[in-house]
Amino acid sequence: DAGVTQSPTHLIKTRGQQVTLRCSPKSGHDTVSWYQQALGQGPQFIFQYYEEEERQRGNFPDRFSGHQFPNYSSELNVNALLLGDSALYLCASSAQGRVTEAFFGQGTRLTVV
């Protein structure tokens, strides 16, 4: 079992560009959550997908959007990148009803220059 896999591991983008990050959940998991972790801070909840729909959303602007595919994998899209979007983006997967058994991927380090 490969666990939660995220791609790419590192990414450098220019202000104003758009970025897409990808996540494959752990086998057997159907729920994917995305978190943003700024340097020296704890992860902050962006949104959660279940059954291909956004189920919950944190305090992030509409520039942050996502998608979940029928195979439960997910994408995080960020438009009009700002310098402040530089962070580690974490994907966590879990099974419906097993809310505390979330497994995190190693993250994608996004740097906006």
Give the dihedral sign, CA 25/66/99/104: positive
Give whichever of 33 and 68 is closer to other proteins, judged by the CB atom: 33
Residue 50, beta-bridge partner list: 31, 53
Give whichever of 54 and 63 is closer to other proteins, judged by the CB atom: 54
CA distances from 67 to 5, 30, 31, 100 (A): 16, 13, 12, 22
CA 70, CA 113: separation in Å to the nearest integer?
A: 34
Minimal distance, residue 15 CB to other proteins, in Å: 26
Q: Tell which positions 26-85 bind other proteins, by CB under 8 A.
A: 31, 33, 35, 40-45, 48, 50, 55-56, 58
Minimal distance, residue 43 CB to other proteins, in Å: 5
Q: Does 111 bind other proteins (CB under 8 A)?
A: no
**First-residue to last-residue Cα distance in the chain:** 36
Give whichever of 55 and 63 is closer to other proteins, judged by the CB atom: 55
Minimal distance, residue 93 CB to other proteins, in Å: 10
Please give the backbone phi and psi of residue 37, each rounded to the nearest 5 degrees, phi first.
Answer: -120, 105
Summarize as ranges the residues that interact with other proteins (CB under 8 A).
4, 31, 33, 35, 40-45, 48, 50, 55-56, 58, 90, 92, 94, 99-107
